[in-house]
Amino acid sequence: MNKLQKIQRIHQLFKTRRRWLSASDISSDLKAPESEVSELLAQMQSFLSAPIEFSEQEQGYRYREGAIANYNLPDFWLSASEIVSLSRLHNNFNGLSRGLLSDEVEGFKSPIEQALRVRKINSDQFYARVKYIPNVQARTFDEVFSIICAGVLERRQIAMHYNNSDGSVSHCTVCPQLLVHRENVWILEAWCHMHRGLRSFNLSRVANAEVLKSRSREIAQKNLDKYFDNLYGVNQQRPQLVELKFSGDAAYEAASQLWHVDQNGFWQDGYYCLHLPLQNEDALIKRLLPLLPNVQVLQPQALKMRLHSTLTQALKRLEELTGDSVTLPKTDEARSSGEVVHQLNPNGKRSKSFQKTLKQA
C-alpha cells in the first residue's frame, strides 16, 4: 500500500472498530513498522485535521467521541505547501525541458502526475489553473554561473575578476564554500586569499572566472556555521526586535505576508502592528520601501534612521538628475511639525508625496 492507501485504512479502522487501537495493532494491520504508523498518525492530524486522541492509560489511539460520525477524509488531498511546491516544480520543469536535461526531466514528471492521479486530481487541469509566476527571476549569468558552480562542486579554487561597488575591479582567488540564493540574488560564499577570510561575492558582479587545478581550502564546519549565523541572522541568541506600524492598503498587504517565523502581528486602532526579530537589515529595507509611505519604523532607532537616510539619498540623487531644487527639513522638530517640502515633478507640478514618505519613515 502507498501512503494514501494506508491513511485510508487507518481512517477505516477508527471508523469501524471504535475502540482504542495500539500502534502495534495498526502496525500489524498495515504490515508497516510502528515508526511509520506514528508518522502517518501525526500527518493525519497536521494535514487532514483528523480528530485523533491518545490515551496514556490504554496506550492506544482512536477518533474522539462525538467526532466519528461527522469526520471524513477530505476529497482534495493536497496541503497548501504541496500545492505551492507542485506549481513551482512545474515552472522549473518547463525551464529544464528546454535544455540538455530535457529527456531526464520527463522521468521526474511521471511519478508526480501519477501521485496526482491517485488523488483524483487532473494534472492538466492543475497546471492550467494553478500558476506560479516568480516576482523577479534571479539572473544566473550562465557562463560564469556554470564555472563557479563547477568549482564549488569539484572543490577547486576559482580565479575571478570582481566588480566592486565603488567601480574598481579586483582580481582575486577564492576557495568556494557554497552558493546561496537569497533575496533573488545568487551569492558565492568563499574564503578569499586577498582578504584572508570568508567573503560574500554577488555573482552579478563577477566579470569572468576560471576553475584552477589547486584544491579548495576546507573551512571547519563550526567556523562556517558561526559565519553564516552572523551574516544571515540564523540562530542569533538575542536579535534586535523590530516594531513596525502599517496603515492603509499597506496594512492588509503586510498582514498577508510571512515576515519571520517568530513574528507577532496584531491589529490596533485600524493599524497593523508587526514585531519581529531583526535578521537582515538590507533585506528588510528592500521589503519596506514599496510599502512607503504607509509604514512607520518604531524600533530600533538605527533601522528608522537607515530607512530615512536611504530615502534622503534617493531624493538627493533625483535632484542631481533633474536639476530641480528640493529643500528638506533639517531637524527632527521640523519633520514632526509636518512641514511641507515641495518637489518638482518632470511635468512642472509640485508634489508633497515624497516628503510624506520621509516623514512616515
Annotated domain spans of the chain: 3-63, 80-129, 142-232, 241-360
**Using 50, 70 and 90 to split pLDDT, how confident is the model at 297?**
very high
Mean pLDDT, residues 170-194 = 86
Which of 73, 90, 79, 78 has the alpha carbon at shortest distance from 115? 78
**Would you list the DSSP string of 87-124?**
HHHHHHHHHHTTSTTHHHHHHHHHHHHHHHHHTT--HH
- Judge: domain 142-232, CATH 2.30.30: yes
- Amino acid (1-letter code) at residue 110: S
Q: CB of 14 within 8 A of CB of 62?
A: yes
Predicted confidence at residue 75, as pLDDT, reads 65
**What are the beta bridge partners of residue 125?**
none
Long-range contacts of 264-269 (CB under 8 A, 24+ apart): none
151: helix, strand or coil = helix
Residue 236 has pLDDT above 70, yes or no: no
- Judge: domain 3-63, CATH 3.30.1370: no
pLDDT, tens digit (0-9, with 9 covering 90-100), for 1-12: 778 888 889 998
Q: Whats the size of the chain, residue-wise?
A: 361
Residue 140 has pLDDT above 60, yes or no: no
Mean pLDDT, residues 191-202 = 88
Which of 253, 247, 303 has the alpha carbon at shortest distance from 276? 303
Which of 216, 115, 205, 210 has the alpha carbon at shortest distance from 160? 210
Within this chain, domains 3-63 and 142-232 share the same CATH topology: no
| Contacts (Cβ under 8 Å, ≥6 apart) of 310 | 285, 289
Residue 286 has pLDDT above 90, yes or no: no
| Contacts (Cβ under 8 Å, ≥6 apart) of 83 | 130
